[in-house]
Structure 1
Amino acid sequence: MTTFDVPRLTAVLGPTNTGKTHLALERMLGYQTGMIGFPLRLLARENYDKIVSQKGRKLVALITGEEKIIPANARYFMCTVESMPNDKVVDFLAIDEIQLAADYERGYIFTEKLLWARGTKETMFLGALTIKPLLQKIIPEADFIVRPRLSKLTYSGVKKITRLPKRSAIVAFSAQDVYVLAELVRQQKGGAAVVLGALSPRTRNAQVELYQNGEVDYLIATDAIGMGLNMNINHIAFAENSKFDGRIPRRLTAQELAQIAGRAGRYMNDGTFGATGDCPSFEDETIIAIEEHLFDPLRSMFWRNKDLSFNNLRALRKSLEVPAPHSFLLRKRDGGDHHTLINLARNIEITSRVNSGHDVRVLWDVCQIPDFRKTLTESHSRLLTDIFCHLLDGEGYLPPDWINSQMTRFDRTDGDIDTLSGRIAHIRTWTYITNRGNWILDPIHWREKARLIEDKLSDALHEKLTQRFVDRRAAILVQKMRDSEELLSGVSLDGEVTVEGYKVGHLTGLNFIADISNDKNSKPVLTAVRKTLPIELTRRVQMIQSENDECFAIDNMGHMFWRDCKIGALGKGISPLKPIIILTISELVTNEQRDVLTKRLNVWFSRYISEAIPSLLKLQTTKIKGPALGILYQITEGLGNASRNSLNSLIKGLNDQDKLDLARLGLRFGIHTVFIPDLLKPRPIKLLAILWRIFNEDNDLLKPLIPGRVSIPRDARIHDNLYRAVGFVQLGTQMIRLDIVERLAAMLRKAGKSGKFLLNSEMRSLVGLNYTDLAAAIQYLGYKQIEGADDKLLFRRHNSEKKDKKLNKISRRSKNLGEFQGRSEKRPHKPVGKRVKNDFSPFSVLEKLKLVGQ
């Protein structure tokens, strides 16, 4: 099958970590010239750097689709398989990971090199043992060398991500999944490096360095690490066991799992592999296959005709569809370049310009331009169309101004990880284009420009990845802990807590808010913090003890603040007016200091409450006895008010002195309610709401009332008793302040004496409602709307038309008024006679009291 008389043809086969690549490099350097094809650009770059360190830059070339470094006297060529120059004659030639000839996407390229690429003195194919039967058919004359793995690989079962050992690599199969895992590891372990096949070599190397130098102990990667990336990995954890292969989602084969798992345990160090995250435990037969390197042999590989015809488009397409010469070779039907050709051949802009074999060849070369974005196929087709048209319409070169405008669009380092990754994908396309020297005037200039842009974007992406997935502070502190048993810590004047110069939290009031993850690595850091904080806490306790009352405050939830820092909260006490104080401070504050703080907050709150609701507190110290004392008790329990109905029996027992004493205490007797007007102001209302909520252990939060607001829509989520505690009662859908209800009732009684009446602006202004809401509200005070002329709102009292009934037997209770409406029974009229005024009558005394509505 071969056309070369090869002096030495060798196939070195075996699992990962057998030293195959190292052997090929050594053999190559034993010759004057050599070339090795690698499956990844990253691998080509890695080995290029390795050979440069031994032979110098003048003798080593790097050739990939996006990067070409070819010194004039280069003797050793590190290439991607796709970019290996066919016309370059070398003594030694090798292809790495030759089993990829069976890969659906790229297999035909490896097969082509297997069939036709040879060194003049030695050719070596490196790969998995599974390809041996196919190699024996294609190159039966080859020497087959099977190399055993240098270290042992063992399955360790399923582990949670938080339980994975250090120096672990977690493998997922999409960029999004990699990012999610990296974020989780950052939160739990302090950080992780990220390796994706789409990363530029510069970004990838910077990320790997984070891992290799110990700054982070975890690596999150795609299956790109399975292709020979050599790192100090002890354990491979699979977060998934399936992937999308470009066509369908599918489970990985045992061979594919082994290729990745083999990255654990390099050289003579044993390694382990297992499952984590959503990946189920491996089946026994899969485990045995990976540990013992026992896999089914490959039965076929992909192939595509390399002798293409460029006579015309039809001839080119026909030559791409030539059937494979052997049954074990599968024709590649939809290669990326082939697919692009089919799409572009439908474009009239393209077909109208293809007039010769030269044009067909140019079009095919354009189709080779890879789409690194992989998702914007329409955009990529547009770019290729523009390139082809420029090449044919001009002098065979792309216009410099157009190239500059295209590349400059991506010369920006702002944006997030996905944005930067997208720009790198774009500029990689242009890096590939600028390496086609026959398309561009001054190709060295444009290659350098593309390289600088890619490097700039790569550095920015590395920084973004590090910022997002590596807690540098935690990582550096962990390193210092390895070298020293004790860490230096301190607290700045503004409360910032630092350990070894890195911020680890903030002291807010008397609470330490940690800024580090809560894992075993944080324990030494927190130990250092605990040694420093007591000194600062003692200083702050002393400050609080001597502070003025203006430095303290309370919010609507009952939380207590010192200089805007929460240090305590009210708790349920023996009564609403006697809550307890609960400290919400660091556990490092001593019991003695807690007593000092509790005493200081008690002193402040006692002053605060005495200034906000003095008239209510005064009721608790009065020496009044008898029925008046009972009234004061109920008013106190109701936080400043009680329904008239509940007090009627006590009111009847009041003597003249009792009434005068209650008036002096600020009580006002209304038709519906007995209340203290002083408590209906904004500051008392805020405090009363807090006290009611704390005592009743109710989390409903009454929104602060707008000063001067006397009515608000009822919120069903708020308990009616909370409204009542702050002086508001319900009339339909509205909550109206107690004193306003009494004044409104008096206005309505006066208006209703003549029977029918209209609502007026004075009533509406008093309550702060529109006419519709006011009309609905007064129906709960015993008034009924009746038809009036011109659709006017006409009202009268319920049952006022039934004058023929005995009025002394009519109940004046109205619907839903409940406890807010007292009795009002009319007695039969007595004969009218001369009224004699009695100054000692109880009614004469009552006239001296100022009643609401009079």
Structure 2
Amino acid sequence: MPYKPHASSRNDAPSGVKAVLGPTNTGKTHLAIERLCAHSSGAIGFPLRLLAREVYDRVCKIKGEANVALITGEERIEPKNARYLLCTAEAMPVTDRSLAFVAIDEAQIGADRERGHVFTDRLLHARGREETMILGSSTIEPLVKALVPGVEVITRPRFSTLSHIGAKKLSRIPPRSAIVAFSTEQVYAIAEMLRRFRGGAAVVMGALSPQTRNAQVELYQSGEVDYLVATDAIGMGLNLDVQHVAFAGLSKYDGRRHRRLTTSEMAQIAGRAGRHQTDGSFGTLTGSGGHDSEFEPEEIYAIEEHRFPPLTKLFWREPEPRFDSIAALIGDLETPPDRAELAPAPEAIDLAVLKRLSEDGEIAASVRGHAQVARFWDVCRLPDFRQQGAETHSRFVARLWQDLRHGQLGADYMAQQIAQLDRTGGDIDTLQGRIAAIRSWAYIAQRPDWVLAREEMAARARAVEARLSDALHGKLTERFINRRTAVLMKKLGPDAGLLSVRLEDEEVLVEGEHIGSLRGFAFQVDPGTRLTDRKLLLAAAERHLPALLQRRADALAAAIHDGSAELTLDAGQIRWEGEKIAALGPGRSLLTPSLVPDRVLDAVPGPSRKALVAALEAWLDTALAPLAPLAKLDEASRTEDAGPDLRALLIALVECGGLCAREETGVDRLDKQRRTMLARLGVRVGALDLFVPAMLKPGPIALWRQLARIAGKPAPGGEPDAAMPPAMDAAKRQRAPGYRNLGKQLIRLDMAEKLLREAHEARGSGAASRDFALDPARAVSMGLTTASYARLLRMAGFQPVMPRPLAEDAHGPPAPVRWRWRPPRRQAEEQRPQPIRKDSAFAALGELISR
């Protein structure tokens, strides 16, 4: 089928078609907006959703939101009485003759391989009732004159000059510059470098949502950062305050091959520099890659003088194909035009998807009749927002067609698909992928005949895209912008000490930017600070630190005295707000350690430091109060009444944390007077162990262990639990303080003594060799196994008596185990005090203390 105009415009094509052509920064878009607002109604078709949104916001301020609509594939804001439509080229109305004014922007995109046929169709058929305006580069002028009879061509000069300034290093690129790269990886790499030595850059890519793009541009426009890193999407009419454009490369991948940019493409991008009457410049980055990354002299001349070879062809595809069958549809879409100015459009992704799915017998069989073919073609035209290629995109379209072939998508299904993407976690690439995915569902939701509850689902999709956009903006800002460095680059210098410094909680701020933190009494520069800025930051902050530290020290000392200070003693260190301010060192004895102030207190002025140290020493006395039972033993060991044997025993108890095995203490050698004195000191003498009951608690044990380590004494076992059970598995704690080891189990000393005392009560007074039975219920209630209970009894001198075997003809339960107790030798000899061996450890310790 050869080229033909739309049926609706063959015989009644309105006059008043103007082509406003020229380079960038000629005010073409501004003129179109003025003409739109001068008419009673109108529409403008733009190449980018971002640009349509930007102009929509401008027209809303002029005409009011109730009169202005935004129509794109993914977003439709259509007030009931809207008279002014801002659209993407694909979404703009073509056959509607009720609009007084119609304009198509960047008409030269008709030469683009993927979208060119859309712009060509709009150039040929989009007409306003009263006025039509075609905007674009001068390169399209011959084709406009040939294809649009009676067109009035208006050429507009550039407002400012554009000059080439050569190649520069990235570190030498002037402020208010845009660096243009042609891959996501290159954009990220350049932005990372700018963050390190220029405070960062805003990032603009075509894959960003309008909300993210606007937020990034605002960072640049507001002056918060002086650099913008963008893809070539910046060339499509995005109005920015750019003074210089630096090309990171001069070639790109166009979907088929890697090629050098045309001079007109270079000019479109370079033309972003300089706005209105402000001149601009362009150049390249030094070291961005070989000779191909430098402008040729003829390219520089063409860009500066705005002289480019004219376009010779625009791509065209049948805009009104037949829907009799899939084969007829494909045939019409591949029909070449019959005009020399038009060329067959390369296979766009929608046609590629259509042809792939038509080869699927099951899908092809489901497409029957004019309405079904038309609906199937609409589904195939779903844009590939994910940029995954025809093969992958066709599988997504196939799944969508299976749901749409029988009717509309249900609200629950749409809500589920949208909700799956409503997750703001992940990195930049993950969030970009989700935004691309939600754009697909936003496009689907905009179709009135595809989705039930269309308005609700479209609103949900927009809300999710907004949340994802906010998260992406946050990630981009976090990764590529260092606000502090940006501020310091502008404000820091020799007078850094005069900068405004304040403290918010623990964060130190210079000119409102975080430079470090004050943890306890230690100032730490932000670890992300560049080495060259570190000295300046310290100079700015430390000037104010002494007075600040003095106030902190005075406040902490007062809090210690009134009991409100939150201090902790852990591993021999005194900490405040998690930071070390003092430590314990060896003292006169294990229970009287010395307090060693940390070096962070050296910066506190003298009087306040002394007052704080005195307060800490008072606090330490209170903190060691749980060890008072041990302190009592230590004090008693220094009296003359103790005698050498008791003195040695008390010292051993203190150094063991108030817990000793009986056979290691020599308690049986004490006379009655010393044993009475020992009992008055709170020491419990058990069958197996000597212990101070208060020291069986986790707190005192943990405290004693700290002091033992400081004094260089060995401390047994692991740390005590906050809740100490009567019995536990020995595998969990091999040498637990306060526990008796029973092999596979441990039992707390006081519980062990209680069981043994009950065993003695069961055998009766004075019955040393009589057999008796024991009920193991008490031991079982404490968590002991029968084997562990038996082992405990054996340790204390109890021996099991084997029961007599039953007669061969006898029946019944086995007889209960009976026990017999034999007094240990030490008790038999208790009445005869044994002389202390001169070579024993207790004799040597006693003589040493007596000196």
Query: What is the CA distance between 1:465 and its match in structure 2?
Result: 5.7
Partner of 2:325: 312
User: Once the two structures are superposed, what CA deviation does each residue of 1:333-373 show, in whole Å capped at 9, x if it has no partner?
Assistant: 452265258648969899678434x6644654564454657
Is 1:150–2:176 an aligned residue pair? no
Change in Cα spacing, 1:777 to 1:260, as seen in structure 2 (3 Å) is farther
Mapped contact 1:153–1:291 kept (Cα < 8 A): no
Secondary structure of residue in 1 paired with 2:552: helix
Q: Are 1:341 and 1:367, in contact at CA under 8 Å, matched by a contact in 2?
A: no
> In the alignment, what sits opposite 1:598?
613
CA contact (8 A) 2:353 2:394 kept: no
Deviation for aligned residue 1:554: 3.6
Aligned pair partner of 2:350 in 327, 336, 353: 336
What does 1:491-506 align with in structure 2 at a 5 Å threshold? Answer: none
SS in 2 for 1:712: strand
Paired residue for 1:282? 288
How far apart in 1 are the matches of 2:253 and 2:798?
75
The verdict on how the C-alpha distance between 1:359 and 1:330 changes in structure 2, with shifts beyond 3 A counting, is closer
Asked whether the equivalents of residues 71 and 87 of structure 2 are also in contact (C-alpha less than 8 Å), the reply is: yes
Q: How does 1:681-760 map to 2 (within 5 A)?
A: 681-692=697-708, 702=718, 704-705=720-721, 709-714=725-730, 723=735, 726-738=737-749
Distance 1:839 1:709, change over 3 A: closer
1:540 counterpart (550, 555, 571): 555
Q: Deviations over 1:223-281 (max 9, x none)?
A: 6435443323578899999999989xx98977799799858854534467769xxxxx7
Q: Which residue of 2 aligns with 1:229?
A: 238
- 1:571–1:581 CA contact under 8 A, matched in 2: yes
Please give the per-residue CA displacement for 1:672-727, whole angstroms capped at 9, x wherever unaligned. Answer: 655444422344223223434556699999555355633333466x7x6xx45x33
Contact 2:93 2:126 in 1 (8 A): no
Structure 2 residue 29 is matched with structure 1 residue 19: no
Report how far residue 318 of structure 1 moved: 2.8
Task: Give 1:623's aligned residue.
Answer: 639
CA distance in 2, matches of 1:431, 1:565: 53
CA shift digits 1:285-316 (9 cap, x unpaired): 34325999699x99999775557333333211
In structure 2, the CA distance between the partners of 1:639 and 1:174, relative to structure 1 (3 Å rule), is farther
TM-score by length of 2: 0.61
> Within 5 Å, which residues of 2 pair with 1:658-673?
665-666=681-682
In 2, Cα distance between the equivalents of 1:675 and 1:572?
A: 27
Post-superposition offset of 1:608: 3.5
Deviation at 1:197, TM superposition (A): 3.4
Q: Which runs of 5+ in 1 are unaligned?
A: 276-280, 391-397, 801-823, 827-834, 844-854
Tell me by how many angstroms 1:212 deviates.
Answer: 0.9
Amino acid at match of 2:349: G
Distance 1:479 1:169 in 2: 21
Q: Give the percent of matched residue pairs that are identical in Structure 1 and Structure 2.
A: 27
Question: 1:571 Cα deviation (Å)?
Answer: 3.5
Q: Which residue of 2 aligns with 1:205?
A: 214
Alignment of 1:351-430 (within 5 A): 354-356=368-370, 360-361=373-374, 363-365=376-378, 367-370=380-383, 416=424, 421=435, 425=439, 428-429=442-443
Alpha-carbon distance between aligned partners in 2 of 1:642 and 1:239, rounded to the nearest angstrom: 78
Distance in 2 of aligned mates of 1:251 and 1:748: 93
Distance 2:358 2:170 in 1: 49
Deviation of the 1:580 alpha carbon = 3.2
Alignment CA distance shift 1:228-1:709 (3 Å) = same
Report the CA distance between 1:565 and its aligned residue: 7.4
For residue 646 of structure 1, report the CA deviation from its aligned partner: 6.0
* Distance of 2:774 and 2:186 partners within structure 1: 69
Q: Name the residue aligned to 1:96.
A: 106
Mapped partners of 1:164, 1:576: distance in 2? 67
Matched AA of 2:629 = P
Matches within 5 A, 1:458-469: none
Residue 573 of structure 1 aligns to a residue whose secondary structure is strand
Q: What SS does the aligned partner of 1:613 have?
A: helix
Task: Please report how far the alpha carbon of residue 329 of structure 1 lies from its aligned counterpart in structure 2 after TM superposition.
Answer: 6.8
Alignment check: 8 A CA contact 1:372 1:429 kept: no
| Unmatched 5+ stretches in structure 2 | 6-14, 303-308, 426-430, 806-812, 836-851
- The one-character-per-residue Cα deviations of 1:475-527 (angstroms, maximum 9, x if unpaired) are 899599979976485779xx999999999999887788999986769889957
**Structure-2 residue corresponding to 1:851:** none
String of CA shifts for 1:526-581, please: whole Å, max 9, x gaps: 57975884574255135235314x7566466556467x876745444356432535
Cα deviation, residue 416, structure 1:
4.0
Which of 656, 662, 671 aligns to 1:638? It is 656
Residue of structure 1 aligned with 2:90, choices 51, 63, 82: 82
- Equivalent pair of 1:504/1:516 in contact (CA under 8 Å): no
The correspondence of residues 470-485 of structure 1 with structure 2, limited to 5 A, is none
Q: Give the secondary structure class of the aligned counterpart of 2:137.
A: strand
TM-score, scaled relative to structure 1: 0.61
Aligned match of 1:847: none
The residue type paired with residue 680 of structure 1 is L
> Per the alignment, do residues 659 and 55 of structure 1 end up closer, same or farther by CA in structure 2, a change over 3 Å counting?
closer
Deviations 1:820-841 (A, max 9, x none): xxxx999xxxxxxxx9x99775
Tell me what 1:608 maps to: 623
- Equivalence for 2:846: none
Per-residue CA deviations over 1:175-206 (Å, capped at 9, x if unaligned) read: 99999999999999999766453555466435
Change beyond 3 A, Cα 1:683–1:207: closer
Give the drift of 1:609.
1.9
In structure 2, distance between residues paired with 1:768 and 1:743: 14
Alpha carbons 2:215, 2:473 under 8 Å: kept? no
- Letter in structure 2 aligned against 1:339: V
Output the CA distance in 2 between the equivalents of 1:339 and 1:111. 22
Q: What code does the residue aligned with 1:425 have?
A: R
- Correspondence for 1:41 among 46, 49, 58: 49
1:589-644 Cα offsets, whole Å, 9 max, x none, are 43432332222122222233244333345325613564554444443333334556
For 2:463 and 2:738, the matched residues in 1 are separated by 67
| SS of alignment partner, residue 619 of structure 1 | helix
The answer on whether the counterparts of 1:682 and 1:705 sit within 8 Å (CA) in structure 2 is: yes
Query: In structure 2, what residue type is equivalent to 1:150?
Result: L
Aligned residues between the structures:
760
Structure 1: how far apart are the matches of 2:312 and 2:398? 36
Contact 1:156 1:274 in 2 (8 A): yes
Q: Is the 8 A contact 2:182 2:232 kept in 1?
A: yes
Quote the RMSD (CA, aligned, Å).
7.6
Measured against aligned partners, the alpha-carbon deviations of 1:67-105 in whole angstroms (never above 9, x if no partner) come to: 58899999x9976443566669999987638478455x4
2:556/2:612 contact within 8 Å kept: yes
**8 Å CA contact retained: 2:198, 2:486:** no
Q: How many angstroms does 1:759 deviate by?
A: 8.1
